[in-house]
Amino acid sequence: MRPLCGVLAAMAVSLTGTRVSAVALPWFVLVTTGSATRTGLVAFCEMTPYVLVKAFTGPVVDRIGPRSVSWTTDLASAAAAAAVPLCHALHVLSLPLLLVLVALIGAARGPGDLAKEVMVPEAAERGRVPLERATGLSGVTERLASTVGPAAGGSLVALLGPLPGLVVNACCFALGSLIIGVTLPRGMGLAAEEHGVREDAGGGGSGGYWRRFGEGFTFLRGEPLLLSVIVMVGVTNLLDAAFTTVLMPVWAKESGNGPAALGLMGSAAGAAAVCGSLVAALTGHRLPRRLVVVTGFLLAGAPRFLVLAAGAPMWAVLAVFAVGGFGGGFLNPVLGAVLFERVPRRMLGRVNALGDSLAWAGIPLGGLMAGAAVAATGLVPVLLAGGAAYFLTTNLTGLRPEWREMDAARGRTVTGPRAQREPDAGAAAAARPGAASS
């Protein structure tokens, strides 16, 4: 279990810092500028580099090795995150400089998150942990971060202001880098070639990079199940980004509940999601995957939008977020297991990167669109429209016939190039809904 514990610990601290920042940074922009549009612009400038850089670093992760990529990019994220409060303290933090710094954070976060995800199946093999249990524990880690992070972020913002939350974010990135660089066993997280999984001759240089990139793209293009999941998750991720970066902070400000309410809501969802992920880790190998995914999205999606639009009391909001968190806790373990079963190990970095990036492509637009929509029509109409879009997207996609492959493909694991399947096999690669804020 030591290898898996090391990867999960690094994921836990870096994700916790990110969740703290997800409360502190939008609140900092909102209270200093008073503009929902600028709040959305900051989110756009962080997530656009995240998606773009992550999309093109998959072959690099496969070539260099996820361990090296993880600790170096976490250090870069720590430096950029620490620069925000430092520049503010020196009275030189203009909006353009803030946009540059958050863009650097996003550009470094993308490869770092990818590298940790790629190390999960290897860590499971080394620790002799069943794959679905390993992905379930990975989901638990994400959800714990989603519980601790918002609570810490909301408390820090309410007591000390938003800047201490950004300092915590920088420290968490630095600690994650240290864990990966020091605590993992020797020989773990190396390049695919160093594990004996060789690319074809001529794999070096820029031609080798583009060939590996093209292999990942070709693999994705031939997967009907994978593509339908990616499109669906792309829409839900856009809606989740709009909800967390703009709609929730605006609701907290207009309702008078303040930043502490954001922490409570995130923690209620996160704590329930931890329970959901634990149940998925223990029973996921016996559950019908298609039904679990559709039900999870039904609980985790539209109700959050509708309860805020209805002006419900805080206890009802927390109850809805808790139920949604429990349902959402099942999503990543199930889809993660399908990913690792279906994608050849030598292609895991590039396929995961492309799938993640396509599924996350709408996230940078979510805050921008929500900010503009709220400015034009007000908060309640945007919440109602978002809830309706979430419900229709997830339920209609779940009816597609290729989704039956989720259960038909159970238990088939690919570890090397010889086991590569034909393009019609189906997958759910990298469409990790819990990577957004549902």
Q: Which alpha helices (H) appear in 161-223, and where do they start and end?
A: 163-183, 205-221
pLDDT at residue 239, as a whole number = 93
Model confidence over 51-100: pLDDT tens digits?
Answer: 788 777 877 777 788 888 888 899 999 999 899 889 988 888 888 899 99
pTM: 0.65
Q: What is the DSSP letter of 202?
A: T
- Each domain of the chain, given as residue ranges in start order, spans 2-194+202-435
For 2-194+202-435, CATH number? Answer: 1.20.1250.20
DSSP 125-174: HHTT--HHHHHHHHHHHHHHHHHHHHHHHHHHHHHH-SHHHHHHHHHHHH
Distance CA 193, CA 196 (A): 5
Model confidence over 337-378: pLDDT tens digits?
Answer: 777 777 776 676 777 777 777 887 787 788 888 888 998 999
Distance CA 113, CA 118 (A): 9
Of residues 427 and 282, the one with the higher pLDDT is 282
Of residues 417 and 155, the one with the higher pLDDT is 155
CB 49 within 8 A of CB 110: yes
Q: Would you say the C-alpha torsion 279, 284, 287, 289 has a positive or negative sign? A: positive
